Amino acid sequence: MAKYQETPMENHEADGIKEFDNNLPRWWLYGFYFTIIFGIGYLVQYHFMGSGNVMRDEYAQEVKEAEAKYKLAGVGAANAGARTMAVFKDAANIAEGKKLFTGANLCYTCHREDGGGLVGPNLTDDYWIHGSSVDSLVASIEHGYPEKGMLPYGNNSKLGEKELMQIVSYIVSMHGSNPPNPKPIDPAVEKQEAWNVQ
């Protein structure tokens, strides 16, 4: 146990409060030494050797991981300025697209499950209001036509890049399918277009 001084320090008084000049408690002092040693270690590792991740590196690392993750899932290249807008040809992804089209995204309520059109235009023919390229299909779905009743993504809940392309792929798969009783072409707004999706 440290010895404590019992006489106050001379000439050391403020507003009637006097101070003793006692030793610091050991636990406190060792804690303090520890922070000094830790601080030196930290300084060397993070600032001299550069082997620790400073915030900037951590950020870069996280961005890299996110990019890898979302590329794997086929999502999220949008912000990188390089969208991978590949149309799926395989049955599984087209089936997923059909599920979205005929499910909670509500596309079928206006375009019909077979794409023949009802409130919205026929999506299986060669006549388009906003264009038949993959870019135009993506833009139509992403932005919707709210003034005509079509919300972005059908029901206004954002879809990932992969789901978006699955829907596009379902539409592409229906091209030229001639469903019965399609919505008539509206020549005032729909233009015939060469189908330019490979």
Which residues of this chain interact with ligand HEC, rule CB under 6 A?
101, 105-107, 109-111, 119-121, 123, 128-130, 137, 140-141, 145, 148-150, 153-154, 167
What are the Cα distances from residue 2, in Å, to 23, 29, 49, 159, 160?
7, 12, 41, 68, 66
Q: Give the nearest distance from C-beta 45 to ligand HEC in angstroms.
A: 51
HSE-up (13 A, CA, CB side) for residue 185: 12
Nearer to ligand HEC, 41 or 149 (CB): 149
Nearer to ligand HEC, 150 or 165 (CB): 150
Contact 97, 168 (CB under 8 A): yes
Radius of gyration of the chain (CA): 34
What are the Cα distances from residue 142, in Å, to 24, 132, 146?
67, 15, 11
Nearer to ligand HEC, 46 or 127 (CB): 127
Q: Give the nearest distance from C-beta 89 to ligand HEC in angstroms.
A: 18
Nearer to ligand HEC, 70 or 108 (CB): 108
Q: Give the nearest distance from C-beta 78 to ligand HEC in angstroms.
A: 17
Nearer to ligand HEC, 58 or 113 (CB): 113
Q: Give the nearest distance from C-beta 91 to ligand HEC in angstroms.
A: 19
- CA gap 25, 10 in Å, rounded: 22
Q: Give the nearest distance from C-beta 73 to ligand HEC in angstroms.
A: 19
One-letter amino acid of 10:
E
**Which has the closest alpha carbon to 128: 84, 81, 193, 47?**
193
